[in-house]
Amino acid sequence: MQKLPETAVEYERIDGRKKDELRPITITRNFIRNAEGSVLIEMGNTKVICTAMVEEKVPHFLKGQKQGWITAEYEMLPGSTNTRKSRDRNRGKIDGRTMEIQRLIGRSLRSVMDLKKLGERTLWIDCDVIQADGGTRTAAITGAFIALHDALSGLLEKGVIKEMPITNFVAATSVGIHQGEIIMDLCYEEDSSAEVDMNMVMTEDGEIIEIQGTGEERPFKKEELQKLLILGEAGIKELIAFQKEKLSI
């Protein structure tokens, strides 16, 4: 008897999404009363509170230079993961991952700012992860931009600044290779078992701010890299369209 060919098993994502589909996104503006700009961003089960607060001074290295600064802090709260995450202050220092992410957030936002139009003041961006399911840094960047925009809009309306310092929109997403398939916006379970993991930060014009790509389980080819970049750019364009919708721009 002739053996029938085996039926190929179609790849299925853990949460039922298509390979090129973002997780459901929700952004709640003005989430924190005391901050000049604030949002709660939810990407699937990942939830991050992003605030932007204004300080009427700049770091010492910018004093007298007639320009402003943006700096970011990032933290995962103790209940954000399955097992309690100890606060950095209890360890006596900021861990390497936290430092890397908060520097990334700051770089990403400064890259789309004309800091001279801000004047000699600092915008503090705080991103606190209240629930983590992968993509916390990319959600933080995407949400922090809206908080930043709201804070600057407030300064503009009050006449504190004369022009909007933002020069472009910015957002971020993750892409990766999981079970041989190229996918977008990885949840934790996908990310933790991905062969290749990549975070991308881009402007609305398609300019790259940062790419963090790693072959976790194997090297990846240039052809795969190109596909990852194309998919990531498509996701970021979708996120920026969502940002504009929330900001009514």
Question: Per the annotation, where are the binding residues for phosphate?
Answer: 97, 135-137
Nearest to 19, CA basis, from 228, 189, 249, 247: 228
Which residue from 14, 70, 72 is spatially nearest to 45, judged by alpha carbons? 14
Contact 54, 155 (CB under 8 A): yes
Q: How many residues does the chain have?
A: 249
Positions at the binding site: 97, 135-137
195 closest CA partner among 225, 171, 172, 229: 225
Three-class SS of 60-124: HHHCCCCCCEEEEEEEECHHHCCCCCCCHHHHCCCCHHHHHHHHHHHHHHHCCECHHHHCCCEEE
Residues 45, 189: Cα–Cα separation, whole Å: 12
